[in-house]
Amino acid sequence: MTPSVEPPASLKQAADSGIIPAKYLYGLQCADPNERKRWLRQAALAGYVPAMVDYGLVCSDPVERKRWLREAAHEGYVPAMYYYGLECDDAATRRRWLKAAAEAGYLPAIQHYGLECDDPVERKGWLLKATCDCDTSAMHESALECGNPEERKRWLHTAAAKGSSPRPR
């Protein structure tokens, strides 16, 4: 078990005094999950967009989770676009949000959107972008998509040199 480290007292004082980013940071550092949720919720309710995402991600109620992620995504917060996209049941809506986050350069979205593309040319382009951004799992995907054995070998060697191994299919 990893020993928990309590947040600094000065951060707690700032959070108690109503400083919204301090509430968010304090919530992130709370070892107790209920305290974490309480502080993140306070910051989210105050309109602090990063807190909306982190609070949404710890919500056990899927409707509330999706609501917070949607609100943050509509604020233009790129990680929220990605996480909200993952929550969407409708494929077209999911792809629209993943693509928005990918186009903004959010690496997990670049790979995920690439994997969602139906068009093989677009798929390859997004996966290559992810590999160029040093995403080793995207390197594996690119290797699997590649018809050229030498290029496939190069991608697998590059990923392995970065300490990664292929994920099972």
pLDDT digits (tens, 9 = 90+) for 4-33: 567 888 999 999 999 999 999 999 999 999
The overall average pLDDT reported for the chain is 85
pLDDT given for residue 169 in this prediction: 45
pTM of the model: 0.74
Distance from C-alpha of 37 to C-alpha of 52, rounded to nearest angstrom = 11
pLDDT in tens, 86-97: 999 999 999 999
Distance, in Å, from the CA atom of 155 to the CA atom of 143, rounded to the nearest integer, reads 6
Written as one letter, the residue type at 34 is N
How far apart (Å, rounded) are the C-alpha atoms in residues 40 and 35? 8
- 152 pLDDT higher than 70: no
Higher pLDDT, 110 or 155: 110
